A = this chain, B = another copy of it.
Amino acid sequence: MKPSLKTIAEQAGVSKTTVSFVLNGRGEEKHISTETQRRILETAHRLNYQPNHLARSLSTGRSYTIGFVVPDISNPFFGKIARLVEAYAEELGYSVMVASTGERADKERMILEAFKNRQIDGVVLAPSSGESIKYTSDMPLVCFDRVFSKETGNTVDVNNQETAFLLTERLINKGHRRIALISLSSFLPNIAARIKGYQEALEKNNLNLDERLIKDIDEKEKNRDVVAAVSELLAMEEPPTGFLFLNNVLAAQGIWTINQLFPHLADSLHFASFDNLDLFDFALPKVTSALQPSERIAQESVKMLMHQIEHRHAMNGVCFSTTIIDR
């Protein structure tokens, strides 16, 4: 039988209350005598007492658990942040529940409500839609990676538009005149900003925007769609030589496509991609990438969430800069 406060109370000959005070380090404050404190601590130790976290949470209303909800935890970008969020949260005595939404708003909603009913203290979320904030009502929430509205605060992201602009310019500066954009069909604010940055760079460099060079990939069928998109682009009479991929998964699949189907073109093309991957270091075509500061994103997200949990009011959104790795 697992010992409870009651067990200790009986064995130490005091009340539950006293035991609770002492074990929570409030012994002095509550004027519990040194001898009694000693006896209680000794008993607790002897019985190897471990408090029941659920019971505590139920009465305090704090579960010391946060949620980490992203489209796909197996995506290396989110996996890395998960690891870091978990580490920071643990330092603060929090555990982390994770869930993947598959980029589906309905599933996201279900997950958030399930977590809320589990009395989670707050959620770090990479939202798939602008609706999510509604379902969480009063639960502390920090959105990262995708920011649907800056107004509510509590957001962490990067300078998407500027980064896309710079990535595109790098390709232009390397002499590429026709630059394809491999984007996503679902509406996400970070993606929208990146598209803008791409357009802006073309405009500034007096390259006209050819709509045929822009391909939208369906999230659910990305692997198949990227192969099709790249193949179509390379089959054009005037094919692009520079490619901007709006995230690492798309770029990885793009590299795969070239290597499997167009290996002879690997040297003549140049890629640019959001997010870094280790493989970009040696992949062909060469990939210039924009590294997002995972550590800072994770740390800031947790910090912001803790702030809201403690103080119940939002902090201003934070926007980090990416680091462009030229290859």
Bound CA span A75–B57, Å: 32
Contacts A74-B82, A76-B76, A100-B87 given: A53-B282 contact, CB under 8 Å? no
Q: Contact between B76 and A119 (Cβ–Cβ < 8 Å)?
A: no
Minimum CB–CB distance for A106 against chain B, Å: 13
Q: Contact between A86 and B98 (Cβ–Cβ < 8 Å)?
A: yes
Q: Contact between B73 and A82 (Cβ–Cβ < 8 Å)?
A: yes
A-side interface size class = 35 or more
Bound CA span A194–B207, Å: 55
Contacts A79-B79, A252-B279, A282-B259 given: A50-B116 contact, CB under 8 Å? yes
* Residue A54 is within 8 A (CB to CB) of chain B in the complex: yes
Q: Contact between B58 and A55 (Cβ–Cβ < 8 Å)?
A: yes
Bound CA span A82–B82, Å: 11
* Residue A134 is within 8 A (CB to CB) of chain B in the complex: no
Contact of A58 among B58, B86, B99, B259 (CB under 8 A): B58
Bound CA span A252–B97, Å: 29
* Residue A281 is within 8 A (CB to CB) of chain B in the complex: yes
Contacts A282-B256, A282-B283 given: A97-B50 contact, CB under 8 Å? no
Q: Mark A50-90, 1 if CB is under 8 A from B, else 0.
A: 11111101100001010000001111100110110011001
Q: Contact between B96 and A99 (Cβ–Cβ < 8 Å)?
A: yes
* Residue A174 is within 8 A (CB to CB) of chain B in the complex: no
Q: Contact between B73 and A63 (Cβ–Cβ < 8 Å)?
A: no
Number of copies: 2
* Residue A114 is within 8 A (CB to CB) of chain B in the complex: yes
Q: Contact between B119 and A50 (Cβ–Cβ < 8 Å)?
A: no
Q: Mark A33-54, 1 if CB is under 8 A from B, else 0.
A: 0000000000000000011111
* Residue A255 is within 8 A (CB to CB) of chain B in the complex: yes
A74 — which chain B residues lie within 8 A by C-beta? 76, 79-80, 82-83
Minimum CB–CB distance for A260 against chain B, Å: 7
Which partner residue on chain B sits nearest A259 by CB separation?
B282
Between A83, A253, A259, the greatest number of chain B beta carbons within 10 A of the residue's beta carbon is seen for A83
Bound CA span A57–B55, Å: 9
Bound CA span A245–B84, Å: 27
* Residue A219 is within 8 A (CB to CB) of chain B in the complex: no
Q: Mark A276-319, 1 if CB is under 8 A from B, else 0.
A: 00110111000000000000000000000000000000000000
18 contacting pairs across A/B (C-beta < 8 A)? A50-B116, A58-B58, A73-B73, A73-B82, A74-B76, A74-B79, A74-B82, A75-B79, A86-B98, A86-B100, A95-B97, A95-B114, A97-B97, A97-B98, A253-B278, A256-B282, A260-B281, A279-B283
